[in-house]
Amino acid sequence: MPELDTSQRQAPDCVMLTGFWYRALPADRVHRNRLHKAMLLEIPLVIGRDRAGRPFALRDACPHRGMPLHCGNFDGENLECSYHGWQFDAHNGQCQAIPSLTADQNLKVDRIYAGSYPCEEQDGFVWVYVQEPGPAGAGFGKPENAPDPAPEIEKFSGKYKLAYLTADMPVSIDHGIIGLMDPAHGPFVHQAWWWRSRHSIHEKQKNFEPIPNGFRMSAHTPSSNSAPYKLLRLYAAADSITTTIDFVLPNLRRETIRAGKYWFSSLTTVTPITRNQCRIDVVAAWNIFRWLPFGPELLKFVFAKFVEQDRRTMELQAEGLRHNPHLMLIDDADRPAKWYFQLKAAHLEAKRSGTEMKHPMTGPVTLKWRS
């Protein structure tokens, strides 16, 4: 038997990438003048909305003695720590007041910051930019700006519907992501009488190409792999339907399906919560079922089934992973997973060396598998 080469043995390293935007909470769960807890990349956060409805994110630990700030008071502008009443500006984290100071004590209050993170609302989610960690022991500094806005779902008309689904997965970010891009589990995990069974397995061939920070499954007429496809076929001739699927670091999967003037677009993210816990958020926008009374519900039902099947699978997988088994990635079905690990390694290497990232793919590639 041939030996597995090291690239086939590639195992998840579970490194969580900083310097990117991550989805923190669904926007409809973040209420004005209330404080919410969230966790991203093992960083505890307090998230809220100011009086005007603008979201903010601070590190959920008071710079005085570490009290979680979400336990404090919020007046729509400043957060007040529940331990000694220090007050912080919700947006930039700057300290506004320290009640214990006397008139002749000249501590420079405005030089103290609760760590703040760039925060934006986009397509129904509150996003937080997790910056590169500062030098150890430097304490909280002034807020940094994000280099670019939070990722947005591509839309192709002015009017559309938007819906989201979210599920916690008890596995590392790497298993969450390679599970998301894995074509071979479909017939086994996503069985349903109205969808497909394992007897429908057949050979497939798909073209992939490199894109900045990721790769694309090139525009093609879908087989039956994507959830909204069977519904879309009710609206347009099968051969007028095209779909592209992109994966982009650190965790973005964009799927776009177009059928004449109808379109369906989704942005799915897998967000590292802790080293061995992630969360999948699917947000979809579409203009196809706007006039059909049960369209959105039907779509949500289909997606909810899929996500629940994935979640349940990963829950079981976590049991198997607990004792660090040897793992392997095989061609061609696991090639996207290999690219993911290579992209991640190339990104980290570029950051370490301060050079431009070297993309692991040199050109278009055709992959074949049965699913």
Q: Which of 39, 67, 184, 348 binds ligand FES (CB under 6 A)?
A: 67
Each residue 281-310 as x (binds Fe ion by CB under 5 A) or -, in order, gives: -----------------------------x
Q: Smallest distance from the beta carbon of 58 to ligand FES, in angstroms?
A: 12
C-beta of 70 vs 279, nearer to Fe ion? 279
CA 137 centroid distance within chain = 29
Q: Which does 81 bind (CB under 5 to 8 A by kind): Fe ion, ligand FES, none?
A: ligand FES
Tell me the C-alpha distance between 21 and 118, whole Å.
9
Q: Which residues pair with 208 in a beta bridge?
A: 217, 365
255 contacts Fe ion (rule: CB under 5 A): no
In this structure, what token pair is assigned to residue 259?
């059928």
C-beta of 83 vs 160, nearer to ligand FES? 83
C-beta of 27 vs 270, nearer to Fe ion? 270
Tell me the C-alpha distance between 284 and 307, whole Å.
13
Q: Which does 310 bind (CB under 5 to 8 A by kind): Fe ion, ligand FES, none?
A: Fe ion
The CA-based dihedral angle spanning residues 22, 26, 31, 32, taken in that order and rounded to the nearest 10 degrees: 40
Q: Which does 67 bind (CB under 5 to 8 A by kind): ligand FES, Fe ion, none?
A: ligand FES
Residues in CB range of 325: below 8 A, 6 or more apart: none
**How many residues contact ligand FES, by CB under 6 A?**
8
Residue 287 and residue 161 in contact, taking contact as beta carbons nearer than 8 Å: yes
C-beta of 57 vs 169, nearer to Fe ion? 169
Q: Smallest distance from the beta carbon of 123 to Fe ion, in angstroms?
A: 22
Q: How many alpha carbons fall within 13 Å on the CB side of residue 48?
A: 28
Closest among 16, 79, 81 to 43, alpha carbons compared:
16
Tell me the C-alpha distance between 308 and 265, whole Å.
20
Q: Which of 40, 62, 119, 283 binds ligand FES (CB under 6 A)?
A: 62
Of residues 75-114, which lie at the interface with ligand FES (CB under 6 A)? 81, 83-84, 86
| Strands of 73-74's sheet in order across | 73-74, 78-80, 87-89, 95-97
Phi then psi dihedrals of residue 271, to 5 deg? -110, 125
C-beta of 310 vs 332, nearer to Fe ion? 310
Q: Which residues bind Fe ion (CB under 5 A)?
A: 310
Q: Which residues bind ligand FES (CB under 6 A)?
A: 62, 64-65, 67, 81, 83-84, 86
